[in-house]
Structure 1
């Protein structure tokens, strides 16, 4: 199963550019593959007649994927093609290791970092796949054992984060899971069919991994409101800069671009320390978070429209090539005009759409008369 990449650096650290670039590429690949997997799981749930039974699980894992994808967009915008100084690299660290959704939190009020959200998504997707018994043939027992072993290593990392009062219990739980896996591995090595033993272990391991991640996030949320507000504010400041870069890229790429004000986190003033003021301040942070999320989606959608239009023209040209009509003078001139307009900075989208549609019309005319 596709598993999330390991995130570089730590909170507050100016991450090395090469590590950021590699992580962005790996996270983008993981995100695209995971979306395809989730679509496959959704189709399988509907085909098996269990769509209603698994609706809650699917909604949670898809919402989590969307939150991860949104944060990837902000990290990518801050990366800005590698044009990053120390300040930008520190902001990227905050975007990666800070709270994923700011004051809005995750579904159910859970607030996690980007790496935690990815691991949680891995666990939930694995749980869904196990429930639906997808791609679990006897010939794949070795691969499944390898995946469980990797999962137990991730659980080991989470156990290290447990408080002293519960760590011994968590260590014992992990030891029990590992002992079961070794028993299964030995039986598989002797040629036995271990599918009946492996499936319950997979379910229990994914459930335990999810519980550890959720528990760690909840312990963070249980800290004082002042510390939580400071953490949220730092995340919002990083998000504000990222959305501003995203907006600048959008304005430079498309005409007419959306025009939404990016909230100024600095205008909120310092984090108060009195109980009477902190609740109101947290509400302000939440409103700023929602406004940032709204602006991010609008600018990202406008950029995506330009990307999709270029891809559509490419598809039409590929079709023309396959049909042997790409060299037709009308098609050549039509493509030239469309690409010239799409390459402008910013590109007038209404004109570009008409020119791509014109190319499509010429293509239809040529292929119809062949």
Structure 2
């Protein structure tokens, strides 16, 4: 594919389907082609923005946004390469198409690290890139090519609708401030639209509104990604709780078996993970809860290895007793009664609960006796 020689405003294509959905191959191919075009044009646009930033007195103010834009572009480009590889020239069955939509709607940070900017899906990363690029163009004074005020107001209206959708995803108890921002932006947009309809000059109003809309959309996308990350973490912690609960029950069964089989049996407390209560929803509380889960997991492993070790010790001694007992028939008859007495006593000791210390001494004595008798 040839590299574009010029750039302009470019908007990411609408992603098809949803996470894991089966989307017709034609829609997937159209999206891949459009995403590839967006990727190439955005790269050229970012190079222009970077060059303009180096010459601009606003360089320090836009450096972080330039870096974030580059990071987003790289993550999108890498995911596009994965999608193209998975597309495999169109040789895709239903499960392959579902794998493609999982790649489209899955989080980018799963292969890119833990950057909060990348805890977003591919469509969210593209929208965030669009918003950042538009904001940078305005800040650096590169938006003179835009096609008039009516076009800019239409773009603002589309952005506000996206913000409305993002606000709708926020839990009701936390949506107050975001709802206020949306109402304020909506009110300003209505005012600008009415002024423009009446033929008034709105140039001084559109620029600040574009900046406010871009900032709000960016903040809401990042906040949505953080909520997604928190939900994923809660899901992961819930899975850990279920695993430790099952492991705790197994270790308690192992402890009961050791108490009935071995004497003296180990005495270790087996922690109950359910005593920690339900996982909290606040990130700071989740950290503390996860740390307590880790301690419970380590304590369960210590208990498991201790009780399992006691049972394994008894099993090893019984196997050793069987091996040495076979050799009793090979020793001279004059010495055989002593060996048989040791073996008989060892079998008596092996009855449950088994005194493993005593059994170990008898097995060692019988082994030594057989060695000497031979």
Shorter-chain TM-score tier: 0.5 to 0.7
- Cα distance in 2, alignment partners of residues 223 and 198 from structure 1: 37
Which digits, 9 at most, give the CA deviation of each residue in 1:172-200, with x for residues without a partner?
42232122112112222333221211111
1:275 to 283, 288, 293: 293
Tell which has more relative contact order, 1 or 2 (C-alpha 8 A, sep 6+). Answer: 1
1:62 Cα deviation from its structure 2 partner: 0.7
- Equivalent residue for 1:157, pick from 151, 162, 165: 165
1:22-73 deviation digits (Å, cap 9, x = unpaired)? 1111111111111121112112212224334422211110111010010000
- Counterpart-to-counterpart distance in 2, 1:51 and 1:228: 41
SS across alignment from 2:200: coil
Does residue 148 (structure 1) correspond to residue 166 (structure 2)? The answer is no
The CA RMSD measured in Å over matched residues stands at 2.9
Change (3 A) 1:205 1:153: same
From the superposition, tell whether residues 191 and 278 of structure 1 become closer, same or farther in structure 2 (CA, over 3 Å). Answer: farther
Judged with a 3 Å threshold, the aligned counterparts in structure 2 of structure 1 residues 116 and 230 are, in CA distance, closer, same or farther, namely farther
Which structure has the greater CA radius of gyration? 2
Q: Where do residues 181-200 of structure 1 align in structure 2 (5 Å cutoff)? A: 181-200=189-208
1:227 equivalent among 232, 235, 257: 235
Task: Give unpaired runs (5+ residues) of structure 2.
Answer: 1-8, 240-291, 299-374
Residues 54-203 of structure 1 correspond to what in structure 2 (within 5 A)? Answer: 54-102=62-110, 104-105=112-113, 107-108=115-116, 110-136=118-144, 140-203=148-211
Judge conservation of contact 1:11–1:97 (CA < 8 Å) in 2: yes
Give runs of aligned pairs for residues 1-370 of structure 1, distance below 5 A.
Answer: 1-102=9-110, 104-105=112-113, 107-108=115-116, 110-136=118-144, 140-223=148-231, 225=233, 227-228=235-236, 275-276=293-294
Counterpart position of 1:356 = none
Aligned length: 239
**Change over 3 Å in CA distance of 1:87–1:119 after alignment to 2:** same
Q: Which structure 1 segments of 5+ residues have no match?
A: 232-273, 281-370
Deviation at 1:86, TM superposition (A): 1.4
Distance 1:22 1:57, change over 3 A: same
Given that residues 63 and 107 in structure 1 are in contact (C-alpha distance below 8 angstroms), is that contact kept between their aligned partners in structure 2? no
Q: Is the 8 A contact 1:221 1:228 kept in 2?
A: no
**CA apart distance, 1:87:** 1.6
How far does the alpha carbon of each residue in 1:250-272 deviate from its partner, in whole angstroms, 9 at most, with x for none? xxxxxxxxxxxxxxxxxxxxxxx
CA distance in 2 between partners of 1:230 and 1:178 (Å): 40
SS of 2:92 mapped into structure 1? coil
Q: 1:85 to 1:279 in 2, by over 3 A?
A: farther
Partners of 2:13 and 2:35 within 8 A in 1: yes
Q: Distance in 2 between matches of 1:95 and 1:151?
A: 25
Question: Shift of the alpha carbon at 1:110?
Answer: 4.5
TM-score by length of 1: 0.59
Q: Indicate how the Cα distance of structure 1 residues 42 and 138 shifts in structure 2: closer, same or farther if over 3 A, else same.
A: closer
Q: 1:105 to 1:138 in 2, by over 3 A?
A: closer
SS at match of 2:88: helix
Greater mean deviation of Cα atoms: 49-58 or 174-183: 49-58
- 8 Å CA contact retained: 1:42, 1:58: yes
Contact map agreement 2:108 2:118 (CA 8 A) in 1: no
Partner Cα distance (2:146, 2:109) in 1: 41
**Superposition TM-score, scaled by structure 2 size:** 0.58
TM-superposed CA distance for 1:84, in Å, is 0.4
Quote the offset at 1:160 in angstroms: 1.7
Q: Deviations over 1:66-109 (max 9, x none)?
A: 10010000011101111001121111111111111306445346
- Distance between the aligned counterparts of 2:90 and 2:238, measured in 1? 28
Distance 1:179 1:222, change over 3 A: same
How far, CA to CA, are the matches of 1:63 and 1:186 in structure 2?
Answer: 39
The alpha-carbon deviation at position 122 of structure 1 amounts to: 1.0
